Amino acid sequence: MATERIRTGARSLMHICGNTALVATSMIIAILFCELGLRMVGYTNPADFKPPRTGMAPRHYYVSDPINGYDIAKNFSDGGFLAPDYIHAYGAPIPVSSNSLGCRDRSFDPQDGYVLLLGDSLTWGYVALEQTWGAILEQHLGRRVLKCGVGGYGSRAELHKLEDVVARAGRPRLVIVGHFTNDLLDDYLYPSITVIDGYAVNKAVLADPTRGGRKVRSDEHLQALLKKSLEPQPKSIGFIGRAKDMMAAHSILYNWLQNSEARRRVASWFGVAKPPPPLPGVEAFRDVAEFPWLEQAWEGHLENLRQLNSAVEALGATMLVVMLPAAPQVYDSLRPQEDNLQWEYPNQRLTEFFQREHIAFVDLLPAFRRYAYCRGSSTAHAEGGLYWAHDRHPNVRGNRLAGFLISRHVLEGSFVKIDDRSARLSGIDQLLNAEGRCRFSGDSQ
């Protein structure tokens, strides 16, 4: 009897082991097929083109500013911004330079009646200068557009930038402000960025998202953080850590799972990926009733926009605010798991404010969503997508669409005098309809 029980147990164990091996083999084959399929459809591995110290402007591109904390250096040349997506697409960093005004633009002689662009990194553009929506706007208006966006600026910093540029460049006819949702937090933490050893670093940060606590880092702390960021990343320790490093370096499937909030959540359940990190700038989408400090932040931000508009009007110019959408507002797959985020709230609140204050504006979110729907693209960086895969800024296609939409809005609103307005509008509509594979004409804000 005992021998029979041992034989039965051995057969059961062999059966379990066989089934386990079969399941494991099936999973490996499925993973290999998925990996092969992603390679066949053209996906690439981010690790294949990710340079060291990515996401950093060249040293000394930013300089200290006594009011804003930092600004673009004047007459900077021969530098490159290390953006992995752009390097992969074009084989080199984003070329960066500046003119004598501290703007990312070519040289500019003092004159009245130009168009001035203010804004943050979405206006500065994570693409080459000639690919930015500001350059596209200049092309379609046939008017000089001075492009003075600075990454990390909010409306408080833009007011000082306006005063500084106008004092040396002359009075603009139209001031276009590129507004992004993280401007709310930029204003709340202002001045939040300083320059350490030639690099712009975050000095003030949100330490308590629940209560709105603000933490100001010491220069010694910033020096240590900067030194660490410039050093090569240490290799992971242990078998699992080394396995993840290997997958990150060689597996397209692994990186494909990492680059979507939804896919990454599923992968984290099986331990092959970390849970998605908190979305930067998510405060603008939170419920002000749940986080009372946000109401104060909103009131302060709207007051800053009101003051910026007053300063523009004092120059005899008109201000137009362009609401640039965040990638998760356009693509559901990029949204974090939090259920209480209100993706329409910032646009609704800003729309009500602009209408009440009689400030000209255009909201690009509906058109961006319509483009994504017409292109049949469910992810931001797939073929036809509007955003880079890793830093979530608009890519070349996103800048082009924004440039077309803003150009059309400016021409339709008669913000500047253009002799051949009708012909230019017709040309833009043709480009938009071809770009989105569906009709865009007649749908501007």
| Helices of type H across 217-344 | 219-230, 239-250, 252-258, 261-269, 293-314, 327-330
358 φ, ψ to 5°? 60, 45
Average pLDDT estimate for 176-201: 96
Q: Which of 281, 280, 282, 444 is nearest to 365 (CA)?
A: 444
- 275 vs 125 pLDDT, higher one: 125
Cis before 191 (ω within 30): yes
Q: Is the pLDDT assigned to residue 444 strictly greater than 50?
A: no
According to CATH, the superfamily of the domain at 46-239+275-436 is: SGNH hydrolase (3.40.50.1110)
Per-residue pLDDT of 148-166, as tens digits, reads 999 999 999 999 999 999 9
| pLDDT given for residue 34 in this prediction | 61
Confidence of residue 269 (pLDDT cuts 50, 70, 90): very low
| pLDDT given for residue 172 in this prediction | 97
- 3-17, 242-256, 326-340, 342-356, range with greatest mean pLDDT: 342-356
Going from the C-alpha of 240 to that of each of 251, 379, 432, the distances in angstroms are 15, 29, 48
Max Cα-Cα span within the chain: 103
| pLDDT given for residue 434 in this prediction | 83
Per-residue pLDDT of 307-349, as tens digits, reads 999 999 999 999 999 999 999 999 988 888 776 899 999 999 9
Q: Would you kindly state where each structural domain of the chain is located, as residue ranges? A: 1-42, 46-239+275-436
| pLDDT given for residue 333 in this prediction | 84
| pLDDT given for residue 298 in this prediction | 98
Distance of alpha carbon 390 from alpha carbon 408, whole angstroms: 30
Distance of alpha carbon 216 from alpha carbon 118, whole angstroms: 26
Q: Give the whole-number percent of the chain exceeding pLDDT 70.
A: 73
Q: Which of 70, 58, 74 is nearest to 107 (CA)?
A: 74
* Sequence-ordered list of residues with C-beta below 8 angstroms from that of 382, at least 6 positions apart, any chain: none
Q: Is the pLDDT assigned to residue 199 strictly greater than 90?
A: yes
- 32-41, 126-135, 250-259, 409-418, range with greatest mean pLDDT: 126-135
Distance of alpha carbon 127 from alpha carbon 269, whole angstroms: 36
Is the whole-model pTM more than 0.85?
Answer: no
Indicate the burial class of 67 (C-beta count within 10 angstroms; 0-12, 13-18, 19 or more).
middle
Distance of alpha carbon 255 from alpha carbon 381, whole angstroms: 13
- 44 vs 328 pLDDT, higher one: 328
CA 215 to chain centre: 24
Q: How many CA atoms lie within 13 A of 369 on its CB side?
A: 13
Distance of alpha carbon 445 from alpha carbon 382, whole angstroms: 27
| pLDDT given for residue 41 in this prediction | 46
- 276 vs 309 pLDDT, higher one: 309
Q: How many CA atoms lie within 13 A of 190 on its CB side?
A: 24
Q: Is the pLDDT assigned to residue 214 strictly greater than 70?
A: yes
Mean pLDDT of the chain: 84
Token pair for residue 103?
Answer: 């703007």
Average pLDDT estimate for 4-28: 66
Q: Which helix (H) or strand (E) is 13 found in, with range?
A: helix 2-40
